[in-house]
Amino acid sequence: MSGPHTPRVSVVIPSYQRCESLRRTLVALTRQTLAPSDYEVVVSLDGSSDGSREMVAAFTAPYALRAVWQPNRGRAGACNAGVHESRGSVVVLLDDDMEPSPQCLAAHAAAHAADPRVGVLGAVPIAVGPCSPPVVVYVGKKFNEHLRRLSRPGARIDVRDFYSGNFSIRRSVLDEVGGYNEAFRDYGNEDGELAIRLLAAGVRLTLSTEALARQHYEKDFAALARDSIAKGRTAVLCAHMHPDAVTQQRLGTYGAASLKWRTLRGLLLRASHVVPALPDHVVRLVRWAERRRPARMPKLYAFALDYLFWVGAQSAPAGGLPSVEPVRSAVQLGARATERTVRAPEHSPAEREGTA
């Protein structure tokens, strides 16, 4: 889509039921060093009914702003809908819990002027303060350390490192690989699946600390647990789409944990078949522990989230591929992939939980 005043950069914000977070993002976008005439903002509302649509319509901004609305169909669909309505040659995907720094869009734009086939991950540190809930402290410390590793000279961004909550790419390249796969309606792995196709197309992925957006993480453990189960299900969907890339995904790390944890996890997963409510009991146990804040709370978070991920993997539907039986094969697929992996993962699945 083009016109006489086509902006260089289109910011696409997929959003669902987070009106106040979205408002914070829009306010931060008014403070950009990039000239307002050089960018537009398209808010893609994924079935929101919390006043977000009305808020965007009433919001006064120095940049071109509009919203598109569609019935809820997941983040992948919302991203595609927003990109379709945008006009810039460079697309910046920005989640609605991000607060972009003033130089964020200028840094994204500059990166693509230098390299037309680059995908830029803007740094997204999680804000952690003295009053932050323990789960936010846990997720924040894990993810912020992850960002520090990616920012080291020569660091390589792989599929499991990728996120698109603050990500830019040329529209032509995104169109070339087909955008997001809208089969991902549940939470998680739409990013990783896109990364597999971007890397296969020769796109170089890089981290920009200048294109920074501060992430306001507001989920409690119950929400994080639901996300972990959903990520297990969508990981299986991704693996069936790209079986040759299983070693690059979390399913390929089943055997990477310690023998003690693999044994305990295996027992819990088998018990989950007999007692379907076991994951709910685990969530209640963790929430009980949160109120007491024991010293080993980070380890409890890691183990619980790892178990819940594999609960999701074992419960995964066929994802439109009836010739495959993911419910029984997900764990076996991951275990076999681990055995084939030449380069051991830097961190076990439990250690990696909490990264985007």
Q: What pLDDT was estimated at residue 71? A: 94
Q: For residue 318, what pLDDT is reported?
A: 52
Quick check: 9 and 88 in contact, CB under 8 A?
A: yes
Identify whether the C-beta of residue 279 lies closer than 8 Å to the C-beta of residue 311: yes
Domain 9-124+163-215: give its CATH code. Answer: 3.90.550.10
- Looking up tokens 């990166």 gives 111
H/E element holding 312? Answer: helix 297-314
In terms of Cβ atoms closer than 10 Å to its own Cβ (0-12, 13-18, 19+), residue 258 is exposed
* Long-range contacts of the stretch 244-247 (C-beta < 8 A, 24+): 245/159, 245/196, 246/333, 246/334, 246/337, 247/337, 247/338, 247/340, 247/341
| Location of structure tokens 């040759």 | 244
> What is the chain's alpha carbon radius of gyration, rounded to the nearest angstrom?
20
CA distance linking residue 351 with residue 341, whole number of Å: 18
Compute the distance between CA of residue 149 and CA of residue 154 in angstroms, rounded to an integer.
Answer: 10
| Domain extent listing, the chain | 9-124+163-215, 221-352
pLDDT of residue 304: 97
Show pLDDT as tens, one digit a residue, over the chain (356 residues).
444 578 999 999 999 999 999 999 999 999 999 999 999 999 999 999 999 999 999 999 999 999 999 999 999 999 999 999 999 999 999 999 999 999 999 999 999 998 999 999 999 999 898 899 999 999 999 999 999 999 998 899 999 999 999 999 999 999 999 999 999 999 999 999 999 999 999 999 999 999 999 999 999 999 999 999 999 999 999 999 999 888 888 888 888 888 999 999 999 999 999 999 999 999 999 999 999 988 899 999 999 999 999 999 999 875 433 333 433 454 454 444 444 433 333 333 333 344 43
Cβ of 296: how many Cβ atoms within 10 Å?
9
